Structures are given as structure tokens and as C-alpha cells.
């Protein structure tokens, strides 16, 4: 053993000597090197490193990935990690992410190179998921620790974690338990080795004891810093989503490109109109094109003035604003049928400044192909020559313009460039209409529409349609044709149970559907006990994933039983219990969401094309790129840009977008990083970690779609 350690020390020392460092007297403080703002992610294909890479990608933080399973991957050596630029030593990566504390073979020159690099430039290392062992600063679990499932366990951020990289959390870190038959959260709980410089950031109680074991902690040794994570996770699990921000802040010392927020926006479609009600006898919705039973009689659901008052009160209590997508013909028709009276519209107009408003077209007409409803499902009507018969440009334009004029006359605080078409129509819809209505883009340009809603379940990518850029929206599985909880449960049972149980059989025909039921829900309790928790979890997952896309439901869900509120309250209550007040939910309107998504795409394109140069020297951060490009960045509090505070305060840091000019962007940190010193030969390189167990069955869950 002594011979192996000695050999490794010599190899690491040689590698340290091979690294490009500023020249000075040995042991003296070196001039600060240039540290590029890029992360090195070394992956073995496991879910933990993939999760961290996904977090970096979504935030817009540049990273380089090396797949250990690829024979053609680059070799990690001193030259790969560092060089010099303009006579100044350069560290090419500001942080290193490894699958575990040492994923390489014994006596690996690549691990030795990483050790030497981390020591020379004070580069942090994240062990994405590693076994608790002395080489990582922890006791083996067999010595009073634990290895096994943490499903349903509530971990806690320690005082050091709250004062450090996880200060944006309130304290609790609950581990998911979504299935009694699937192990979702395998972990090792252990205490630091005696004498180790190990600081736990997240802990859980070791089963059968009152002791706490570390799940995330910092281990300082041999002139290096490691973030040791001892539980497995994937990118979708709540426990990772809660900790992802802190992992990135720790590894970058709070200085990195990219930014992250927790977004939540809810659009209420069909306001002023009435939504047809689900018929539990016919198992369809009278008034819809696929409900052809001769006994089908529409039964409309429409909000009342009391529902408007309830919405205003709810918003004021929650500090949250709903976006009302309105169809003016609903009010015009109601007045014609009721001697000119429409108390709902009067109350909404009276309270118009309490909400944000979106043009949802005048009549909610279908704006794609003309529908042939003589067959089920419907098909596109055709002209005598066999070509598709499209809704005309004039008809589409009238739907947009008439609704806008009504809203302007009523004094609604509109953004005229925003539009939600009925059922997202005009855009492609499979299988009947595989292309957009060619007249849609023309009509959008006629009306200066710049942001067009799309259904994320059908059209998740942002794209250009005429003058407009799409804004994908998440459909919440609260049905448009349900005003009462019992109706929601009945339709839910019909859709998601088997034919033998009286259901539609959709799940039998499409076994990948994630919301299939083993048995029908109880009509009295199914909504509160099953649907609400599931929809809360799905929506909260989007909120925690730095995903600004809005969610949409319907005005019927604010009427009668007001079934939307338990889900919305569940999301906001859960969020408030998890996050500190420094990290509020960001509630944007549609145009701002569209702008955020569009900036991200432009930024990712520039990063992928290698057009960005960003680095830190001492307390100065420099970013260069194409003029006019918006740059996302996150910096410590006190960072200045041109003498003024950079960005906005969020989650204990300053972050935001800054547009580049022909002059490089320079940010000044409030204090420079700790000076780098040459300490001689590095310490020993630890042996590779034993294989860490990854449980089976960890997968993403996706919400099914509904109509707009």
C-alpha cells in the first residue's frame, strides 16, 4: 500500500509541475490566474451526473462533458485542464463534476491530473453520487450509519447549509415516495471521520438512532474542496430540484454564467364564455364535436360575479396574479339573451385591473382547417380538388381584431401582441391537421401579434408563426368541462380506467400513459385525495425546474365548486414551506415568458457555437460575445456593473440578463477569491469508489394534455 501511495504522489507531483502556473518564488502568493467560466462534467452515464448537466444546460451555464464510456473521449491531463493566455496562467474550468469521488482505475493519471489541477487553481469538485467512505471524509455506513431507501424521509438543511450554498431553502428537503413498489431514493447516511474537515450541509436522521447522517457535505483535504453527495437522484426528483441551485452555487463560488428562477403563471381560458359540461351518462360533452348522441343537450358552466370576487380575494391573499384569456362574444351573446344584462362581464370590467388579460379570440372559433364533423373523430374538410379547406385569413383576423376592440373599449389592461386561439387552433394538430393553417401567420401579421400560445403537450418547442413566436403552455389535468369535483372524478375515471372497469380503455391502448388508474376513484374523495396531490406535484415540478412556461385551466374551474383553487393552493403552499422569502415565485405575464424563452434559445445557440468568452481574474469578471446578445449571469451580492449593482436580488445572489455591446462586459465582485498558493506536491489520490447502487424505476412523469 505504501508503494502505491508513493507512486501516486510522484505522479501527481509531476502533473502539478506540468500545469501552467504564474511564475514566482515557491510558496509565495501567485498573481491571480484567469479562470474560465465553464464547468467540466465527467459522466459515467448515471442519472446523478446527467441531472447536474441538465441543471447547467437549463440555466445556461457553459459546460464540457466527458463520457467515460466512450473510447474516443479526450484524455484528462494537465494540458487539457490548463494553459496560458497572454502570458497569464489559465484554468479552463471553474469546477469539476465527477460521478463519484474517484471514478478512475487505481493509480489513474487522469485522477492525478484532476487532483493537481484542483489544488493549483482552487477548483471545487462535486462528487455527484458517492459511497460514504473515509476517502470522502465519511465513516463507512456499517459503523453506525445506514444504507438503503430514503423514500418519504424529510431531510434538513443544516445551519452551515443555510448560511452557505443552500440559504435559499427554508430548511426541509422532503424525499419523494411516489410508489410503494419502486425504490426511488437510495442513499448512504454516515457521520464524518474523526478529525476530518467535513461540514454537513444536508442531513437526515439515521434510522434507529437519534444521530444525523450527512447526505450533502463539504470535505476539505489535501488543499482541495469536494461536495460529497451520498444519495442517488435524477433530474426530475424533487429532492434534487430543491438542492440543484445550491450545488451549482457551491461549485462556482456563486460566480457563473446562466441564471435560474422558480416561475409559476396560470392562464384562465374561456373567460366570459361558457364551457359545456361533461355528461356522466353519455360519457361525452354535449356541445363538443365528438358527442353525437341524439340525447346530448349542452349544459353550460359559466362564472358568476361571486366567482370574480372569490378570484380577487384569492389573488390578494396569495400575492399572485391570474391571466384571464377572454372571449368577448360570450358576453355579447349573454346580453342578447338576457335583455342586455351580463352581471359577470360588469363585475370583471369593474375589477379589470386586478388581473392580466389575454386576447382569446372573439368567439373561440376553430381557426385551422374547416372541420368535417360528420365523422368521429372529425377530419379536415376538402375542396373539390382534394386540397384542405382552410379557415380564411379574413376570418382569422376578424376573430383577433373584434376581441381586441371589445377589450380596449372595456378598458382591459391588454398587451395587444399576446394571443391564445381557441384550442390553440390554427396551429398543427395531429392526426387531422399536420401543418399550420397557412392563413394563420398572415392574420397574425395583420394584427401585430408577437406572442402566440401553443399547447406544450403537442408543440413544446418555441417556433415562429408569421409575426409571432409561440409560447408553449402546460395543460393542467383539471378538465375544461368540469365545474364540480364529482364531474372531474367521473370523467377522470372514464378516461383512465380499463374497459372492464367501465372506462374508455385509453390506458389499455396507450400503456405509456402516466395517469392510468388501477381502479376507479371514489367520487366523493377522489378529487381531493388523488387528483389534487398529483396535479400539485406535476405543476410544482415545473416550478422547481427553472421552467417559465405558463399553465392553463378554464373559467369553469373557477365556477361552482371552484375546483382549481385546491391545486393552485397546493402548489403555492408547498413552495412557501420549502423556500426562504429571498426566493419568491416569479409570476410573469405571457410576453415576458416568451421573451425569457427566446433569450435562452439565442444564448444557448451562441454558447454551442463557441461565440462566448468568459473568465474571472481576481475580482473582475469579463464576458465577450456577439453585440446585441443577452447574457444571463449569476454573481454574489455586491457585484457591480459599470458602478451600479448588477442584476436583481434572488435566492441570496444577484442575477439577470445583460445585453452585450462591442465592448466586453466587465463585472466587479465585491471581494476577490482567495489567493492561489503553490504548496508543493499534492496529497494522495484516493482509490476508486465502490459501485454506487442506482435504484430501478426512476423516471420522469409527464402531465397529459387537455384542450385550450
Burial bucket for residue 131 (CB in 10 Å: 0-12, 13-18, 19+): buried
- CA distances from residue 338 to 139, 270, 326, 327 in whole angstroms, order as listed: 77, 20, 20, 18
Q: What is the C-alpha separation between 237 and 142, in angstroms, rounded? A: 27
Between 109-113, 673-677, 699-703, the lowest mean confidence (pLDDT) is in: 699-703
Q: If we measure between CA atoms, which residue out of 41, 58, 50, 423 comes closest to residue 245?
A: 58
What mean pLDDT do residues 24-35 have?
71
The full set of domain ranges for the chain reads: 36-256, 266-588, 591-668
- What is the chain's mean pLDDT, rounded? 92
153-191 per-position pLDDT tens digit? 999 999 999 999 999 999 999 999 998 888 999 999 999
63-77 per-position pLDDT tens digit? 999 999 999 999 999
**Which option is the CATH number for 266-588: 3.20.20, 1.10.10, 3.40.50, 1.20.1050?**
3.20.20
DSSP 529: I
Q: Is the dihedral of CA 206, 210, 216, 222 positive or negative?
A: negative
Let me know: does 496 contact 508? Beta carbons within 8 Å: no
Strands (E), 393-487: 414-419, 451-455, 464-465, 468-475
DSSP 263: B
Let me know: does 493 contact 500? Beta carbons within 8 Å: no
Cross-strand bridge partners of residue 631: 658
Q: What is the C-alpha separation between 459 and 444, in angstroms, rounded? A: 18
**For position 678, what pLDDT does the model report?**
39
Q: What is the pTM of this model?
A: 0.92
pLDDT over threshold 90, residue 361: yes
Cα-based torsion angle of the residue sequence 504, 509, 513, 518 in order, rounded to the nearest 10 degrees: 60
pLDDT over threshold 60, residue 700: no
pLDDT over threshold 50, residue 518: yes
Instruction: Please give the backbone phi and psi of residue 567, each rounded to the nearest 5 degrees, phi first.
Output: -70, -45
Cβ neighbour number for residue 644 with a 10 Å cutoff? 6
Within this chain, domains 36-256 and 266-588 share the same CATH topology: no
120-154 per-position pLDDT tens digit? 999 999 999 999 999 999 999 999 999 999 999 99
Q: What is the C-alpha separation between 302 and 16, in angstroms, rounded? A: 72
pLDDT over threshold 50, residue 675: no
366-424 per-position pLDDT tens digit? 999 999 999 989 999 999 999 999 999 999 999 999 999 999 999 999 999 999 999 99
- CA distances from residue 582 to 166, 169, 315, 615, 654 in whole angstroms, order as listed: 12, 9, 20, 28, 11
Q: If we measure between CA atoms, which residue out of 287, 270, 289 comes closest to residue 279?
A: 287
Span 36-256: which CATH code? 3.40.50.880
**For position 484, what pLDDT does the model report?**
98
pLDDT over threshold 80, residue 694: no
Amino acid at each position: 500500500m505504501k508503494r502505491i501511495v508513493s507512486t501516486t504522489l510522484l505522479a501527481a507531483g509531476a502533473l502539478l509541475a506540468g500545469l501552467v502556473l504564474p511564475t514566482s518564488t515557491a510558496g509565495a502568493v501567485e498573481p491571480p490566474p484567469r479562470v474560465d467560466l465553464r464547468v467540466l462534467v465527467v459522466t459515467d452515464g448515471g442519472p446523478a451526473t446527467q441531472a447536474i448537466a441538465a441543471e447547467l444546460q437549463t440555466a445556461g451555464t457553459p459546460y464540457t462533458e466527458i463520457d467515460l464510456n466512450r473510447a474516443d473521449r479526450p484524455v484528462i491531463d494537465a494540458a487539457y485542464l490548463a494553459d496560458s493566455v497572454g502570458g497569464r496562467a489559465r484554468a479552463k474550468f471553474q469546477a469539476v463534476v465527477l460521478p463519484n469521488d474517484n471514478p478512475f482505475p487505481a493509480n489513474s493519471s487522469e485522477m492525478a491530473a484532476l487532483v493537481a489541477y484542483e489544488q493549483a487553481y482552487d477548483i471545487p469538485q462535486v462528487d455527484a453520487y458517492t459511497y460514504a467512505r473515509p476517502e470522502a471524509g465519511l465513516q463507512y455506513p456499517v459503523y453506525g450509519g445506514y444504507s438503503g431507501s430514503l423514500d418519504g424521509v424529510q431531510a434538513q438543511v443544516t445551519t452551515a447549509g443555510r448560511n452557505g450554498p443552500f440559504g435559499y431553502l427554508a430548511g426541509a428537503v422532503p424525499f419523494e415516495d411516489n410508489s410503494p413498489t419502486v425504490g426511488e431514493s437510495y442513499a448512504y447516511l454516515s457521520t464524518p471521520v474523526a478529525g476530518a474537515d467535513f461540514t454537513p450541509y444536508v442531513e437526515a436522521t439515521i434510522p434507529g438512532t437519534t444521530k444525523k447522517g450527512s447526505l450533502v457535505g463539504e470535505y476539505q483535504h489535501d488543499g482541495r474542496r469536494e461536495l460529497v453527495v451520498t444519495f442517488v437522484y435524477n433530474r426530475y426528483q424533487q429532492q434534487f430540484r430543491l438542492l440543484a441551485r445550491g450545488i451549482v452555487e457551491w461549485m462556482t463560488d456563486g460566480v457563473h454564467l446562466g441564471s435560474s428562477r422558480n416561475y409559476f403563471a396560470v392562464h384562465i381560458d374561456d373567460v366570459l364564455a361558457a364551457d359545456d359540461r361533461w355528461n356522466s351518462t353519455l360519457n361525452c360533452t354535449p356541445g363538443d364535436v365528438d358527442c353525437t348522441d341524439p340525447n346530448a343537450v349542452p349544459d353550460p358552466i359559466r362564472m358568476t360575479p361571486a366567482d370574480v370576487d372569490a378570484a380577487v380575494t384569492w389573488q390578494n391573499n396569495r400575492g399572485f396574479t391570474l391571466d384571464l384569456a377572454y372571449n368577448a362574444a360570450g358576453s355579447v351573446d349573454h346580453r342578447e339573451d338576457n335583455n342586455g344584462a351580463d352581471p359577470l362581464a360588469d363585475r370583471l370590467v369593474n375589477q379589470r385591473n386586478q388581473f392580466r388579460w389575454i386576447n382569446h379570440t372573439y368567439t373561440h372559433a376553430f381557426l385551422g382547417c374547416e372541420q368535417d364533423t360528420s365523422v368521429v373523430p372529425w377530419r379536415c374538410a376538402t375542396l373539390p380538388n382534394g386540397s384542405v379547406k382552410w379557415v380564411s385569413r379574413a376570418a382569422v383576423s376578424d376573430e383577433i381584431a373584434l376581441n381586441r376592440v371589445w377589450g380596449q373599449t372595456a378598458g382591459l389592461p391588454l398587451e395587444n401582441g399576446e394571443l391564445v386561439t381557441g384550442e390553440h387552433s390554427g396551429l398543427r394538430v395531429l392526426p387531422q391537421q399536420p401543418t399550420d393553417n397557412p392563413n394563420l401567420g398572415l392574420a397574425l401579421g395583420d394584427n401585430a401579434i408577437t406572442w402566440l400560445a401553443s399547447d406544450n403537450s403537442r408543440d413544446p418547442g418555441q417556433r415562429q408563426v408569421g409575426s409571432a413566436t409561440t409560447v408553449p403552455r402546460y395543460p393542467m389535468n383539471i378538465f375544461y368541462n368540469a365545474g364540480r369535483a364529482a364531474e372531474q372524478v367521473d370523467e377522470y375515471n372514464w378516461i383512465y380506467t380499463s374497459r372492464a372497469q367501465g372506462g374508455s380503455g385509453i390506458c389499455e391502448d396507450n400503456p405509456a400513459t402516466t395517469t392510468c388508474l388501477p381502479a376507479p376513484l371514489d367520487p366523493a374523495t377522489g378529487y381531493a385525495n388523488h387528483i389534487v396531490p398529483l396535479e400539485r406535484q406535476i405543476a410544482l415540478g415545473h416550478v422547481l425546474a427553472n421552467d417559465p412556461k405558463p399553465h392553463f385551466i378554464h373559467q369553469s374551474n373557477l365556477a361552482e365548486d371552484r375546483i382549481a383553487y385546491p391545486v393552485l393552493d397546493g402548489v403555492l403552499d408547498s413552495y412557501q414551506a420549502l423556500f426562504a422569502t429571498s426566493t419568491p415565485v416569479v409570476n410573469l405575464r405571457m410576453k415576458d415568458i416568451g421573451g425569457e424563452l427566446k433569450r435562452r434559445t439565442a444564448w444557448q445557440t451562441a454558447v454551442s457555437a463557441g461565440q462566448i468568452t468568459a473568465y474571472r481574474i481576481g475580482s473582475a469578471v469579463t464576458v465577450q460575445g456577439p453585440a446585441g446578445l443577452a447574457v444571463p449571469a449569476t454573481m454574489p451580492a455586491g457585484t457591480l456593473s459599470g458602478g451600479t449593482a448588477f442584476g436583481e436580488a434572488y435566492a441570496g445572489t444577484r442575477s439577470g440578463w445583460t445585453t452585450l455591446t462591442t465592448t466586453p462586459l466587465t463585472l466587479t465582485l465585491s471581494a476577490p477569491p482567495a489567493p492561489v498558493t503553490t504548496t508543493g506536491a499534492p496529497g494522495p489520490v484516493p482509490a476508486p469508489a465502490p459501485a454506487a447502487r442506482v435504484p430501478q424505476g426512476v423516471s420522469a412523469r409527464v402531465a397529459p394534455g387537455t384542450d385550450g
